[in-house]
Structure 1
Amino acid sequence: MTTTIFVSILLLFPLLSLSINPVPALFDTDFDDMADPCILEHDNTLYIYNTGDQTNFYAYSAPIIPGVPSSEFDFKRSSKPVFSATDEDKSCPISTVVPGLGKGTLTWAPDVRYDETSGKFYMYFSICLQLYVASSSSPLGPFTSPVLLQTLAIDPMLFQDDDGSIYLYYAKIDLLNMYTGEESVYVRRMIDYSTIDESVDAKKLLTPDSNWEFPRSSLIAPRGINEGPWMYKRDDIYYLMYSGAGADTKYYNLGYATSDSPDGEFIKSETNPISDPQSPPSVGIFGPGHHAIWEDGEGKPWVIYHQQSDDGTGWRRFLAIDELVVDEDGELQVVFTRDD
């Protein structure tokens, strides 16, 4: 999704007409913060999972209606959490030591996948900066028996390539340098949906190296951030998308890098970040980031992501959906929109 090059006027208007942001059926007033979404399609139904109260995950599901924009689907929240942190998890010391990170158990950023081989659904997520995977027989949970996959890591995303190989992408936290150390994107090879291949070392794929990836709030001093990875394969090109800067700021944004293999050498786009949401500030689009991609029945890709509610600092985010455009040169473009 390279820069939000506000493409051409002919392209801009169709995109604006296809989205309603915040997405009405995903604007859940029971939560002050809705962020870090993932999306799963199963049996002609879309399921969206996201960070909410930082202790529980809910599912928002809607039947897919051909010809209707996904931002207009009638998403319904599950009647109870599909996953809940345990009492033991609730003693997360990091949230006390570094209060700017969030609250509760720091239960963040779920990614849900269906494994046709086992017939199970797998949820990848972090609690207190540790990555876990839990499983369920239903996309509505409950997801149980969490297994630790990786320490000091957040924002997992599972990708299965066309040859069946499986990869887990995530952001690695430098806890010893929490205020100044970098946050980078890594990948691990997987044996199956719940087992890391320990014979292959973790590989760093992206590291913060551009000015736009460094702005941070006053709660946590400026440090480089690459997080929220999402792998998107199209025409044999691997697009590793990510978010940069502080997630609690208006500067949060999307970037991407490309490679010819899922764990190869990735080259960041020269047009990163995808947008400059502060110019002009009257547009009112702040901190667009941490996204997932879904392709509709016509093969058109859509980005579901979060925006900040205003240009202040904090955790007041909502979910949005906009179209991802791949131009003739293979460059990614998104026009972020807001209607309220």
Structure 2
Amino acid sequence: MKFLKLLFLFALTTASATIAQQKTSGNPIFKGWYADPEAVVFNKQYWVYPTYSAPYKEQVFLDAFSSKDLISWEKHPHVLDTANVKWANKAVWAPAIIEKDKKYYLFFGANDIQSDKESGGIGVAVADRPQGPFKDHIGKPLIDKFYNGAQPIDQFVFKDKDGQYYIIYGGWKHCNIAKLSDDFKTLIPYKDGTTYKEITPEGYVEGPYMFVRNGKYYFMWSEGGWTGPDYSVAYAIADSPMGPFKRIGKILKQDPKIARGAGHHSVIHNEKKDLYYIVYHRRPLTETDGNHRETCIDMMSFDKDGLIKPVVITKEGVKAQRLD
């Protein structure tokens, strides 16, 4: 009887410890090698759409994860699969997603093209739900060539204050911004006749992201090499999505005591409580394989002048926070 009582107390203590541990998200926020996370809010839920971090020939699908509180995450496997995208066959990267007219549009890079002679680039898929399944929207890449030196990867879709949607993208140290048509099937030329405008700031490598705060446009990007410890995030502020964007400095980088190569991020804004979260990937100290990256979350904040404070990367992550 005494043994059973002790066993019960042990089980109760273990359960209490588990509950206590769940007061924060922990980092990584879900299991598996995932990178380049696109974090958004749909229908009072947090969603994360990352790259499946593996050799290019194995990167033929995208998973998604959803949470109501930033603590417990549900996996939605293969929300996009190259079986539904005939022109894509490998290196499906860095998704970006946006909701418009009760449809969900998932933008993605595929095939890691190295020249205009290769097939691939940035595609668009559409679904009726955030968890998909997503189907190819136009049957071909939206952007399949190098313009202004930018490799067609790492796209981000941005809705401006006037309702215009833009695609901001680019690897190989060049970044372009282009206007999307209303149906997301084509690009619209600017008044001067050009379609792609380069907005590359100093230090830019890849992974662009943009948001508006207090009327200012915050443009963020990744610097350094994606397999190296110097991978990091920097930013600039301007009065227009066209810039000009003058680099202010780094706000996310590795902590040799926590993890290496923190970069390629996105931002969640809890508008009700005005809380900002940065969702990014990093490499555990125990790993040397370039693809062994995990998705993490930490708080992001601003000083009195509106500048982004350097992010402190943690093992604990963030506290539970519901959207309802």
The TM-score normalised by the length of structure 1 is 0.73
Instruction: Give the structure 1 partner of residue 127 of structure 2.
Output: 136
SS in 1 for 2:142: strand
Instruction: Give the structure 1 partner of residue 34 of structure 2.
Output: 34
Identity %: 26
Alignment of 1:47-196 (within 5 A): 47-52=47-52, 53=54, 54-64=59-69, 70=70, 72=71, 74-78=72-76, 80-86=77-83, 88-89=86-87, 91=89, 105-115=90-100, 118-129=101-112, 130-147=121-138, 148-151=141-144, 152-172=151-171, 182-192=172-182, 194=184, 195-196=186-187
Task: Give 1:307's aligned amino acid.
Answer: R
**Residues of 2 paired with 1:251 and 1:197: CA distance?**
36
**Residues of 2 paired with 1:275 and 1:61: CA distance?**
24
Over 3 Å counting, the alpha-carbon distance change for 1:275 and 1:35 in structure 2 is closer
Larger radius of gyration: 2
1:19-58 CA deviation, whole Å, 9 max, x = no partner?
A: 544234x123xxxx21011122122112211101521111
Q: Which consecutive unaligned segments of at least 5 residues does structure 1 have?
A: 1-17, 65-69, 92-104, 173-181, 211-224
Correspondence for 1:201 among 195, 199, 203: 195
Matched, 1:23 2:6: no
**Residues of 1 paired with 2:98 and 2:62: CA distance?**
15
Instruction: Quote how far apart the aligned CAs of 1:315 are.
Output: 1.4
**Residues of 2 paired with 1:196 and 1:337: CA distance?**
40
Over 3 Å counting, the alpha-carbon distance change for 1:146 and 1:183 in structure 2 is farther
Instruction: Quote how far apart the aligned CAs of 1:149 are.
Output: 1.4
Correspondence for 1:305 among 262, 267, 280: 280
SS in 2 for 1:314: coil
Task: Give 2:133's aligned amino acid.
Answer: P
Instruction: Quote how far apart the aligned CAs of 1:125 are.
Output: 0.5
* Residues 106 and 126 in structure 1, CA contact (< 8 A), matched pair in contact too: yes
* Residues 96 and 155 in structure 2, CA contact (< 8 A), matched pair in contact too: yes
Instruction: Give the structure 2 partner of residue 327 of structure 1.
Output: 303
SS in 1 for 2:155: strand
1:121-141 CA deviation, whole Å, 9 max, x = no partner?
A: 000110113001111111111
Instruction: Quote how far apart the aligned CAs of 1:83 are.
Output: 0.5
**Residues of 1 paired with 2:183 and 2:296: CA distance?**
28
**Residues of 2 paired with 1:204 and 1:285: CA distance?**
33
1:51-82 CA deviation, whole Å, 9 max, x = no partner?
A: 01521111111224xxxxx2x2x11111x411
